[in-house]
Amino acid sequence: MTLFKAENLAINFGGVKAVDGVNFDIKKGECFTIIGPNGAGKTTIFNLISRIYDSTDGKMTFDGKDITNAAPHDIAGMGIARTFQNIELFEHASVLQNLLVGRHCHSKTKLLSELLFLPSVRRAELAHREKVEEIIGFLDLQHYRDSLIMNLPYGVRKVVELGRALCTEPKLILLDEPSSGLNVEETKDMSFWIEDIKRDLGITVLMVEHDMGLVSEVSDRVLVLNYGRMLAYGTPQEVQSDPEVIKAYLGG
């Protein structure tokens, strides 16, 4: 079953066609990876899906709904969560607060009741905390609950960001280079977590990744982009042996 579908997706920045007529669909429960050389338009596609950019052409459908013109802050509530290439955590807040912000799209309390901290707000906060604790357990973040992000090493921040995305209880999670800046061991952990997210939590994964080892380990299908255009589309093995892809990566 198709969860997400991009049809003829395009965006121009002035004369630059960053993404140019890209078509793909993501099936429920799979891990779909976008690869390509630097500047190929991978992160731009992420920004189009999370509606930070307005597409110049094309259509995006998620879970049967057209999200081409949805408001960027409604995307999380619909079930799409994301992480960022250069970690965008809330630096001056604790890990716990960061994860609780991930619950924001599920909070329904009104401002007035929050000012008075009525019992309903307290109950909602405790319920959010339970959910957050599930994720903390899942990602082994117990030690860091009360640490401020700015005092944490890069590897841990990466995991916290993944956790924050999971706290929104997404159907589709967008991971922008989950292994960048991680050492071999941390990359290994990341690949297990991606497997677990897919299998145990039943969340569909869309990721951008450069580490081909990780890509072939966890992805079901791969899309290769170059200069905003689709180059190849298929299983990791098929894509890696595609002559066009080899040409784009190695030149010649």
Q: Is 102 in the site for another protein (CB under 8 A)?
A: yes
Whether residue 78 contacts residue 65, with contact meaning beta carbons closer than 8 Å, is answered with: yes
| Residue 129 CB, nearest approach to another protein (Å) | 5
Neighbours of 203 (CB within 10 A): 22
> Is 75 one of the binding residues for another protein (CB under 8 A)?
yes
Which H or E run contains 134? helix 119-138
Gap between the terminal Cα atoms of the chain: 39
Q: Which is nearer to another protein, 111 or 184 (CB)?
A: 111
Asked if 129 is part of the footprint of another protein (rule: CB under 8 A), the reply reads yes
* DSSP code for 23: E
52 binds another protein (CB under 8 A): yes
Q: Which two tokens stand for residue 162?
A: 């993944």
Contact between 45 and another protein by CB under 8 A: the answer reads: no
For 227, residues 6+ apart whose C-beta sits below 8 A from its C-beta are 17, 20, 39, 40, 41
Complex with another protein: residue 160 or 245, whichever CB lies closer: 160
Query: Which parts of 197-236 interact with another protein (CB under 8 A)?
Result: none
Shortest gap between Cβ of 102 and another protein (angstroms)?
6
Binding mask 150-179 for another protein (x = CB under 8 A): xx------------x---x-----------
Q: Phi-psi category of 117—alpha, beta or left, where left has phi over 0 and alpha has psi -120 to 50? A: left
For residue 176, the minimal CB distance to another protein (Å) is: 11
55 lies in the site for another protein, by CB under 8 A: no
Which lies closer to another protein via its Cβ, residue 94 or residue 216? 94
Residue 169 has phi, psi (to 5 degrees) of 50, 60
The answer for residues whose C-beta is within 8 angstroms of residue 36's C-beta and 6 or more apart is: 42, 224, 225, 226, 231, 248
Closer residue to another protein in complex, CB, 90/249: 90
Residues that bind another protein (CB under 8 A): 50, 52, 71-77, 81-82, 84, 88-93, 96-97, 100-105, 107, 109, 111, 114-117, 121-122, 125-126, 129-130, 133, 148, 150-151, 164, 168
